[in-house]
Amino acid sequence: DTAVSQTPKYLVTQMGNDKSIKCEQNLGHDTMYWYKQDSKKFLKIMFSYNNKELIINETVPNRFSPKSPDKAHLNLHINSLELGDSAVYFCASSLSNVAEQYFGPGTRLTVT
């Protein structure tokens, strides 16, 4: 049973396109997150949702729009993709915003 799943695992696209990454957790957690891991492997939070409400938005360009249709899902839509968006994007979830976090397998986005 996969606790936190993401689709797709790999995403290759051209500059200017719009793409979405989906995340689902079956842990019954209230809080979900999106993280970006850059080419230097540094991991940084982008967004956090608690009970479908946005609670953290870390000065991410507004081309990135998270959407949480319910507590178990947090999707990430990216408009007008740029070369600098190439990275690995991780979804995570936790019982609360200071509880142990569980990560998905990541989505490797390559923008050409």
Partner 1 sequence: KQEVTQIPAALSVPEGENLVLNCSFTDSAIYNLQWFRQDPGKGLTSLLLIQSSQREQTSGRLNASLDKSSGRSTLYIAASQPGDSATYLCADWVTGANSKLTFGKGITLSVRP
Residues that bind partner 1 (CB under 8 A): 4, 33, 40-45, 48, 55-56, 58, 90, 92, 97-106
Closest contact distance (angstroms) between CB of 106 and partner 1 is 5
Burial status of residue 78 (CB atoms within 10 A of its CB: 0-12, 13-18, 19 or more): buried
Which lies closer to partner 1 via its Cβ, residue 18 or residue 58?
58
Closest contact distance (angstroms) between CB of 50 and partner 1 is 9
Q: How far apart are CA 85 and CA 69, in angstroms?
A: 24
CB 66 within 8 A of CB 34: yes
Which lies closer to partner 1 via its Cβ, residue 16 or residue 100?
100
